[in-house]
A and B are shown apart, each in its own frame.
Chain A
Amino acid sequence: MINSDTTILEKEPERAAASTPASLARRIGGLSDRAIAWLFITPTIALLLAINIFPLIWAIRLSFTNYRANRPNAVLENVGLQNYQRVLTDSDIWIAMQTTAHFVFWTILLQTLIGFSLAYLIDRKFRGHAFWTTVILIPMMLSPAVVGNFWRFLYQPQIGLFNYIVSFITGVPPSSFEMLGSVSLAPWSIIIVDTWMWTPYVMLICLAGLRSIPDYIYEAAEVDRASAWRQFWSITIPMALPFIMLAVLFRGIENFKMFDMVMLLTGGGPGSTTEVASITLKREAFESWRTGRASAFAIILFVAVFGLANIYVKALNRVKQR
């Protein structure tokens, strides 16, 4: 029905054009649809080719060489797959990958639990919920680098507010623990800031999910005398699941790339306890200047994210179809 309507309408301008003498002028003055389509799309594609794809191809090329960006005039040698082999057998890089996985796991777990709970509570539509939603949203709008930098101050052992509050609540002396300096706490210092900053994002997507559940389903459940607990597990969770999974996907991709917050809070330290993949990559590329090997690592990371994301999206689509 709708389709047939639009096809008629689509022909309408042409018919009108053919019957009026002004059409000729318009045809010359206006561009054809085809030309407009290309005129509109080409600049974007060209920009992406120049700034994203061309460099990517360049990086692929470099990953097979011994190129070092600080010695641009040195003789370029093809080293074949050696860079890839070195990266994949480098134990430091595997440790960095584990550290990254650890971060991704805990940040996503905390953000999903807190984010979903908040969304569920906000969806109770208490008075003023719109205002408080905006307030909760604020941290995710801010710069992770600039705010992360300030968290360094909050985490100071003696003078920092974080330590003070923890000691106020638990009674532990505030200078007895160092969030950023101790091997066991440093990863958590980053997880806390990331959770503080990005829980609102997960919350928003979950909220969209909860609001997409039509009321009549709950009404039907009410008629069937399903308990609130039962309704939550058999209606709310399954129906909001695609959204929760989507939030997990976005946070997963973002946190896999995590750089700024770690760089500012711990710089990868103490030792290399918080050295995530992006930090290792930065060190290889811009401190050791092993551009070739860093490129190989970058390509491996990209393929990993891309591959994992694709598998995940397939799973997501299966959940959606249920």
Chain B
Amino acid sequence: MSNATSAHSVVEPSATTKRIAGIIVVLYAIVTMVPLAWIFMTSFKSPPDSISYPPKLVFTPTLEGYCNLFTTRTRQTPEYIQSLGPPQSTCDEITRSRNMVIAGPSNYWPRFTNSMVIAFGSTFLAVFLGTLAAYGFSRFRVPLADDLLFFILSTRMMPPIAVAIPIYLMYRELGLSDTALGMILLYTAVNVSLAVWLLKGFIDEIPREYEEAAMIDGYTRLQAFRKVVLPQATTGIAATAIFCLIFAWNEYAFAVLLTSGSAQTAPPFIPTIIGEGGMDWPAVAAGTTIFLVPILVFTILLRKQLLRGITFGAVRK
């Protein structure tokens, strides 16, 4: 009975159970990583290597995919290429070896910057507005609070295309079509509902007594909010921000329907990357890799907050 003294004694699984569970989970994790590993590997393959049969596991890595991703190229005669001076860069050299010369930068970088501006802009706004509203709902008696909260949440149930039709018309009238501002406002509106719900949960957990003590000490309500509640809610705010950022960063449906040129984000752009005579898969893989890296970094750095946010948001709703 010595086991019974530790808290988990009876329900603690046996060593064998643990080992088998561990093996299955690790196998599953490895299998789900295969597509991502393949994207990463393909981004360093040459176009012929990328479409060889059987698929190549061992290959000579090249930066050709990344060069093709960031440049546009034109085909030239070998004589013309001979007549040029020595290559300016690695990319120059790779391009020339394919009988082509670099004609200029591609649209990838501007699209990537659009993604950054729109994702970070809308995340900031959604979290800012969401924190204020969540505090309002958490601390004050708001008439019809439950109805308003439900209304805020129900806006997420609409299919994006259904929302996109009137938004498309409205933005056309207001001159917001294909502008970063229009996309920021739209993503903020979509995200703010999630932000309010998540943050209300986090703020509800902060004891009111803290603010009240601060107010007795002479703080106004706003000062108490800024200096007592906000620092306490930092974790919640960070988790919410990550969720908003992931949504805005990954969003495709609105982006493909409402942007076409100057404000286009990376997700609708990446599938349009094509090479001569078909898809340039190494370039697509390179674009995908660069696009996925920020989210991967966030996921790994902030996994604890993420886990808490997902389960917490789910359990509350």
Contacts and interface: CB of A to CB of B under 8 A. Distances in A.
Contacts of B252: 143-146, 259-260, 263-264
Contacts of B218: 22, 26
A106 interface: no
B202 interface: no
A216 B52 CA distance: 58
Contacts of A12: 212, 216
Contacts of B222: 30-31, 36
Given A141-B246, A208-B311, A135 B33 contact: yes
A37 B95 CA distance: 61
A105 interface: no
A127 B67 CA distance: 42
B11 A259 contact: no
Do most interface residues of chain B lie in helix, strand or loop, or is the interface mixed?
helix
Given A40-B133, A298-B165, A246 B314 contact: yes
B11 A219 contact: yes
A253 B19 CA distance: 36
Contacts of A53: 155
Nearest to B24: A121
A36 B221 contact: yes
A287 B13 CA distance: 57
A133 B36 CA distance: 16
Interface in A191-231: 196, 200-201, 204-205, 207-208, 212, 215, 218-219, 222
Contacts, number: 321
Contacts of B291: 143, 146
Interface in B243-269: 246, 249-253, 256-257, 266-268
A97 interface: no
Interface in B1-45: 7-8, 10-11, 13, 17-19, 21-22, 24-26, 28-29, 32-36, 38-39, 42
Do most interface residues of chain A lie in helix, strand or loop, or is the interface mixed?
helix
B271 A135 contact: no
A253 to B, nearest CB: 6
A58 B166 contact: yes
Interface in A238-262: 243, 246-247, 250, 253, 256-257, 259-260
Contact of B161 (A129, A164, A298): A298
Interface in B174-228: 185-186, 188-189, 192-193, 196, 208-209, 212, 215-216, 218, 220-223, 225
Interface string A128-141: 11001111111101
A37 B139 CA distance: 8
A44 B39 CA distance: 39
Contact of B25 (A16, A126, A150, A205): A126
B310 A161 contact: no
Contacts of B310: 201, 204-205
A6 B211 CA distance: 12
A305 B53 CA distance: 45
A137 B193 CA distance: 23
A299 B165 CA distance: 11
A37 B142 contact: yes
A126 B19 contact: yes
B142 A222 contact: no
A278 interface: yes
A69 B168 contact: yes
Interface string A283-309: 001100001001100110110011001
Contact of B55 (A122, A164, A208): A164
B84 interface: no
Contact of A285 (B161, B189, B209): B161
Classify chain A's interface size.
35 or more
Given A40-B133, A44-B152, A145-B250, A301 B13 contact: no
A286 to B, nearest CB: 6
A47 B250 contact: no
B167 interface: yes
Contact of A257 (B160, B221, B267): B160
Given A40-B132, A118-B28, A137-B306, A47 B271 contact: no
Contacts of A22: 218
A184 interface: no
A142 B52 contact: no
A83 to B, nearest CB: 13
B140 interface: yes
Given A127-B18, A147-B35, A302 B55 contact: no
26 contacts: A30-B220, A36-B136, A41-B133, A50-B189, A51-B185, A58-B169, A69-B172, A114-B28, A118-B28, A126-B25, A137-B303, A137-B307, A143-B291, A144-B250, A150-B39, A156-B51, A159-B55, A196-B32, A208-B311, A215-B7, A218-B10, A222-B11, A246-B315, A291-B165, A298-B158, A298-B165
